[in-house]
Amino acid sequence: MTTTIQIREETLDLLKRIKESSNAKSYDETIINVLSMKTKTSLAGFLGKKPMKKILDDLRDKHDRI
């Protein structure tokens, strides 16, 4: 079964590039490959560039501070 979907021109360009770089045989295969990718969420840099001591101090309650 073939279905037509509406996408923006920029999305089509991106889909074409991904299809070519992944050597997929069709847009359908490209979309399935992209959707089935497992993303790894990294929290690197989430706390900013503070020193570890500052981060740990900020995590403690004021009641814990001496």
Residue-wise pLDDT for 35-57, tens only, equals: 888 766 666 666 567 777 776 77
Position 47 scores a pLDDT of 58
Burial of 30 (0-12, 13-18, 19+ CB in 10 A): buried
Question: Can you give the C-alpha Rg of the chain in angstroms?
Answer: 23
Question: Where do we find the tokens 């001496």?
Answer: 66
Mean of all residue pLDDT scores within the chain:
80
CA gap 32, 58 in Å, rounded? 44
Position 43 scores a pLDDT of 62
Q: What is the pTM of this model?
A: 0.54
Long-range contacts: 51-60, Cβ < 8 Å, 24+? none
Question: Where do we find the tokens 């790894």?
Answer: 40
